[in-house]
Amino acid sequence: MELIKLLNSLPGAVAQGLIWGLMAIGVYITFRILDMADLTVDGSIATGGAVAAMLITSGVNPWLALVISFFVGMLAGFVTGVFHSFMGIPAILAGILTQLGLYSVNLRIMAGKANVAVNANKYYLLVSLRNVRELSLQNPILVLTLITAVVILTLYWFFGTELGSSLRATGANAQMARAQGINTDTKKLLGLMLSNGLVSFSGALLTQYQGFSDVNMGRGAIVIGLAAVIIGEVFFGKVFRNFGLKLLAVSLGAIVYYLVIQVVLWLGLNANDLKLLTALVVGIFLAVPYWRSHFLSRKKTDKEAGSHA
Amino acid sequence: MLKITHIAKTFNPGTITEKKALTDVSLTLNEGDFVTVIGGNGAGKSTMLNAVAGVFPVDRGTIEIGGIDVTRLPEYKRARYLGRVFQDPMTGTAATMNIEENMALAYRRGQPRGLRWGVGARERELYREQLKTLGLGLEDRMASKVGLLSGGQRQALTLLMATLKTPQLLLLDEHTAALDPKTAAKVLEITEKIVSSRGLTAMMVTHNMKDAINVGNRLIMMNEGQIVVDVSGEDKKKLTRHDLMGLFEKAAGKELDGDRLLLS
């Protein structure tokens, strides 16, 4: 357990955290703003990876590949939105259906291969694992920080517009939104598209960063996304009240998540047990608000009962 | 302003929970009418209001607002003609958004929502003035989340939002029922002020007989999915509780069920 090993792994954790932070901001849009759990993301992150891998290996500019991945991800969100809003399927199930279908789609995109390599020696990539400890403009942390800043600013602007406000109203109180003339079905659809576009976009970055795309790279993505959202709220929720800062907190939450992962790996945890650990931690954090309200309300009723006696 | 022609609605038809909520309702409101709607539990008062608002499609009949047939329009499209206040103070506002954002949502009712900024700088002054008229001090809290307001404050705000864009018809669904008596009286007072000063056409469901008699220029009473009493003009002004109970008995052939009706 040499400390130098841990320190060496930290820049990589930050870069990974930034990439997954973008994915988690996508999760934030559905989970917090629209108040629905969308499991499409497990599939759409791999879709983004697959699209980027195929485009880049056939010579497309990686920036363009990112943009195209975003739009393909929006399509995935569109499918879930149609399942949910126009076919009446509960959001969770609609997401699971799309996610399952995407597995086949992603294999099709990657021409039947489960894994496609994107070699940084052969192709120009925006971000790569190999530069993560370099002090240069190629360092992925720099590029990813800039991309994250642009994404957060864009979303801050969008959710401040009339259209963005109507999305927030749909999530906050759908009945009120309809009474104010907002078509809540199309707003949910739009939110799902935006979310999955962003998730796919982060998948395209992840593929470049790690140098390959894998059909299974999205397994458990929703849980990592939720972990980032929740960690962000726990650590920064009290200070970050502004909407833009809340999005920043999600990104920081993802970085904290990956830093913690590096520490527990350094402490000797078997990497195969990571998913179990993540699931348990997220489970407990999701339970906290429930426990809190349950415990507090009981205490309150006790007090009320006491005062009546 | 509103013309309901022979509408009917049955919930869960053909099942054990089948409920004939509206059997045959026709009603025409003239411009400037302020109608109170009263009736026992399950009489169909709220169902009638929700049918007008488009919460669900009706089984038959037509609904016209201001001469336009809205029978087949979804709820969000009818919103351009309607202002609505609900029984539950939580329903009419978005708790996680602040006061001015809520008002800005209401201000754009019936208009396309694009990529302009959600709360215009010039609108704020309008909202502040409107909030002042409530006399609740909300004009100084425009950046506060609505979730921090009391039930009465939220209801008053919802009322303001419902009328920010002048609606062709204001629907009030027992909007004072969940409030304590003092707050209920205050919200009702604000309601009357807004409706009369703006000359709105309004329909107010209530289970408070006193309010039903004292407020508005017309009163209808419902029973078992039908309108059984309809009093307006001078008759409405002279109406007493005793008269109303007599009218009900004559029309429905039974005694008025006062379980939930507040007779005081």
Domains and CATH numbers, chain B: 2-95+167-252 (3.40.50.300)
**pLDDT score, position A99:** 97
Q: Where does residue A219 rank: exposed (0-12), middle (13-18), buried (19+ CB within 10 A)? A: middle
A to B CB pairs, distance under 8 Å = 86
**pLDDT at res. B249:** 84
- Candidates A161, A180, A246: best to mutate against B (most CBs of B within 10 A) is A180
Q: Do B76 and A165 touch (CB under 8 A)?
A: no
Cα dihedral sign for A255, A256, A259, A260?
negative
Q: Looking at the partner chain, which of A158, A165, A178 has a beta carbon nearest the beta carbon of B79?
A: A178
Contacts of B155 in chain A (CB under 8 A): none
The pLDDT confidence band at residue B109, using thresholds 50, 70 and 90, is very high
Percent of chain A with pLDDT strictly greater than 90: 84
Q: What is the pLDDT of residue B262?
A: 52
Q: Do A182 and B105 touch (CB under 8 A)?
A: yes
Q: Write down the pLDDT at residue A307.
A: 41
pLDDT higher at B263 or B122: B122
**What angle is formed at CA B174 by the lines to CA B169 and CA B178, rounded to 5 degrees?**
140
pLDDT interval class at B103 (50, 70, 90): very high
B14: left (phi over 0), alpha (psi -120 to 50) or beta: left
SS3 at position A133: coil
Q: Looking at the partner chain, which of A163, A169, A177 has a beta carbon nearest the beta carbon of B115?
A: A163
- Rounded to whole angstroms, the Cα distance separating B54 from B263 reads 31
- Contact B113/A163, CB-based, under 8 Å? yes
pLDDT band at A309 (very low <50, low <70, confident <90, very high): very low
Q: Do A180 and B161 touch (CB under 8 A)?
A: yes
pLDDT of residue A267: 92
pLDDT, tens only, A248-287? 999 999 999 999 999 999 999 998 999 898 899 889 888 8
State yes or no: pLDDT of A306 exceeds 60: no
pLDDT digits (tens, 9 = 90+) for A63-108: 999 999 999 999 999 999 999 999 999 999 999 999 999 999 999 9
Query: Which residues in chain B have Cβ-Cβ distances shorter than 8 Å to A241?
Result: none
d(CA B46, CA B39): 10
pLDDT digits (tens, 9 = 90+) for B204-250: 999 899 999 999 999 999 999 999 999 999 999 999 988 988 888 88
Q: What is the pLDDT of residue A292?
A: 83
- The dihedral through the CA atoms of B191, B197, B202, B208 has a sign that is positive
Neighbour count for residue B132 (Cβ, 10 Å): 13
Angle of helix A62-81 relative to helix A91-109, nearest 10 degrees, comes to 140
pTM: 0.93
CA dihedral A294, A296, A299, A301 (to 10 degrees): -70
**Could you read off the pLDDT of B35-77 as tens digits, one per residue?**
999 988 889 999 999 999 999 999 999 999 999 999 999 999 9
Q: Which residue has 């919802």 as its token pair?
A: B158
pLDDT tens per residue across span B167-201: 999 999 999 999 999 999 999 999 999 999 999 99
Given a cut of 90, is residue B24 above it in pLDDT? yes
CB A41 within 8 A of CB A27: yes
Per-residue tokens: A22: 């973008």
- Residue A157, both tokens: 């602007």
- Is pLDDT of A304 > 70? no
Residue for token pair 């919930």:
B11
**CB within 8 Å: A179 and B80:** no
**Contact check, Cβ <8 Å, B77/A181:** yes
Residue B28 backbone dihedrals phi, psi, to 5 degrees: -125, 125
A191-229 pLDDT per residue, tens: 999 999 999 999 999 999 999 999 999 999 999 999 999
Q: What is the pLDDT of residues A17-70, one digit of tens each?
A: 999 999 999 999 999 999 999 999 999 999 999 999 999 999 999 999 999 999
* Cβ pair B103, B43 in contact under 8 A: no
CB under 8 A, 24+ apart: contacts of A159-164: A159/A33, A159/A243, A160/A243, A160/B117, A160/B118, A161/B113, A161/B114, A161/B115, A161/B116, A161/B117, A161/B118, A162/B104, A162/B108, A162/B113, A162/B114, A162/B115, A162/B116, A162/B117, A162/B118, A163/A190, A163/B113, A163/B114, A163/B115, A164/B118
Is the CB of residue B79 less than 8 Å away from at least one CB of chain A?
yes
**What's the rounded Cα separation, in Å, for the pair A242 and A247?**
9
A203, A207, A211, A209: which is closest to A15 by C-alpha? A209
Say whether pLDDT at A303 is over 70: no
Return the pLDDT at B253: 74
Cα-flanking dihedrals φ and ψ of residue A113, to 5°?
-95, 145
